[in-house]
Chains A and B, each alone.
Chain A
Amino acid sequence: AQSVSQHNHHVILSEAASLELGCNYSYGGTVNLFWYVQYPGQHLQLLLKYFSGDPLVKGIKGFEAEFIKSKFSFNLRKPSVQWSDTAEYFCAASSFNAGNMLTFGGGTRLMVKP
């Protein structure tokens, strides 16, 4: 069965600290990978996506993620977080063979202290 797991449920950082959120997936075949962000009181927004090509993808607001096929991972990174990055982050995966339906991880709640 397809699954996505996020290792950290809660992360607390100080401003300017570096961020890395782990994501592992279990999918057969070609996989599409996503990171979504949900700011307090707002709806899910796409941070970045990987379909194919360069395994290092850059998204909005200085976020990036690296697809490591051998590790089934798609970790999210940001070199220096800001207070405004406080949000919940969801990793998700889909495949064309499975109708492009998204399977989400459980989410990581990030709090950035000013």
Chain B
Amino acid sequence: EAGVAQSPRYKIIEKRQSVAFWCNPISGHATLYWYQQILGQGPKLLIQFQNNGVVDDSQLPKDRFSAERLKGVDSTLKIQPAKLEDSAVYLCASSLVRLPEQFFGPGTRLTVL
């Protein structure tokens, strides 16, 4: 079974630029999560989707971050404009509906200069 796919794996941008990350969950997993993991900290949830609807985005800095999952499968997370403090690994995870176990992708490491 293929795992959660993410791209790119690494991205370096300058502050105030825009960046987008892509995630393709495990086939059949209706629930998709985006987490931000700052160096030295545990992952922090940004947004949760179920199919193409947002379940929770209370931790998403909506002035600069946006996410979508238009067809209920893959998802894109965007940052516009980026700040230095956005440097982190962005993790995507997926799960079956109403089941607690999440499967994580390899992450995208973002460096903002």
Contact = CB atoms under 8 A, between A and B. Distances in A.
Interface in A19-72: 32, 34, 36, 42-46, 49, 51
B43 interface: yes
Range class of the B interface residue count = 20 to 34
A102 B43 contact: yes
Nearest to B6: A43
Interface residues of A, number: 24
A83 to B, nearest CB: 23
A96 B98 contact: yes
Interface stretch (B21-29, B72-80, B103-111): B103-111
B106 to A, nearest CB: 4
B99 A100 contact: yes
7 contacts: A43-B107, A44-B43, A99-B56, A102-B33, A102-B43, A106-B41, A107-B40
